[in-house]
Amino acid sequence: MQVGFYLLLLLHFGEGCILQDQGKTIMVTADISSSVLLSCYCSDLQTTPDAFIWRKHKTNWEDIDFESDQYRNRVQLFDNLSPANLSLLISHLTEEDTGDYECNAKGRQNIYFRLTIKGSGSIERPLLGNPIVILFAAVGVLALVMVLGGIICCRYRARRRGQMKTCERKERRNQESKDDVTYSTIVHIKSLTPTSPVMNTGYEYSSEYACIKLN
């Protein structure tokens, strides 16, 4: 196959090719650094298009230059083996290969491919902005905060109950101390005999102690 054919992406064949899956958009997913086949061929393998070309959509649809730095030694066509097979094989996939491709035959028949590369940043970014994911994450965080708050509240209440019981025991011990035995002095007065030579008041005093239990 001459290099000029790859640069122009324009090959001349016989008449009558109708593309399989004409007008459809085919979703294709591949791993980064792997290979992918964008399958485009005539429904009747005995017929060929007048011409065909592969294009990729950037800001506009642009013809793919197989000799550019992006595609050199990474792409392969199969029309030299089978004129009805217009498929494109891309190897060593990179993030830049993500996007929309078009297989265009005779300028009026086409098939579209939307290529997604797994493992590239373009796959992860939509997940980060997904409102459903954000909602579930927020609910999970809120539930965790509520559980932690409940645990802290229960521990605080248990500690308060323990402190109150300790205070009650101390008050009970203090009350019991106040209820101890109280001593009182009872004075007994006895009359002295009149024969005592010592002047006195006429009474004899003696003290006795008795205990009185309160309550």
Residues 36-64: tens digit of each pLDDT: 999 999 988 888 788 899 999 989 999 99
Q: Could you tell me the CATH number of the domain that includes residue 78?
A: 2.60.40.10
Q: What is the DSSP secondary-structure string of 1-20?
A: --HHHHHHT-----SB--BT
pTM metric for this prediction:
0.49
pLDDT for residue 94? 93
pLDDT for residue 170? 77
> Higher model confidence: residue 126 or residue 88?
88
Domain extent at residue 111? 3-123
Residues 4-22: tens digit of each pLDDT: 444 334 444 445 788 989 9
Q: Rg of the chain's alpha carbons, rounded to an integer?
A: 52
Considering the chain, what percentage of its residues have pLDDT values greater than 90? Answer: 33
How many structural domains are present in the chain? 1
Residues 90-126: tens digit of each pLDDT: 999 999 999 999 999 877 789 999 999 998 654 444 4
Looking at 33-37, 48-52, 82-86, 187-191, which range is the least confident one?
Answer: 187-191
pLDDT for residue 210? 58
> Higher model confidence: residue 152 or residue 190?
152
Q: Is residue 202, in this structure, part of any structural domain at all?
A: no
Q: Is residue 90, in this structure, part of any structural domain at all?
A: yes
Considering the chain, what percentage of its residues have pLDDT values greater than 70? Answer: 67
User: Which residues is 211 bridged to in the sheet?
Assistant: 183
Q: Is residue 139, in this structure, part of any structural domain at all?
A: no
Task: Kindly report the backbone phi and psi dihedral angles of residue 67, in degrees, each rounded to the nearest multiple of 5, phi listed first.
Answer: -100, 5
Helix (H, G, I), strand (E, B) or coil at 143: helix
Question: In whole angstroms, how far apart are CA 46 and each of 53, 83, 110, 111, 181?
Answer: 19, 8, 19, 19, 124
Cα 60 from chain centre: 37
Residues 122, 99: contact at Cβ < 8 Å? no
Q: Is residue 36, in this structure, part of any structural domain at all?
A: yes
Q: What is the DSSP secondary-structure string of 84-116?
A: TB--EEE-S--GGG-EEEEEEETTTEEEEEEEE
Q: Is residue 212, in this structure, part of any structural domain at all?
A: no
CB atoms inside a 10 Å sphere around CB 104:
22
Q: Is residue 177, in this structure, part of any structural domain at all?
A: no
190/188 Cα distance (integer angstroms): 7
Average pLDDT, whole number, for the chain? 77
Q: Is residue 207, in this structure, part of any structural domain at all?
A: no
pLDDT at residue 81 tops 80: yes
Helix (H, G, I), strand (E, B) or coil at 204: strand
Q: Is residue 102, in this structure, part of any structural domain at all?
A: yes
Mean pLDDT of the 177-195 span:
54
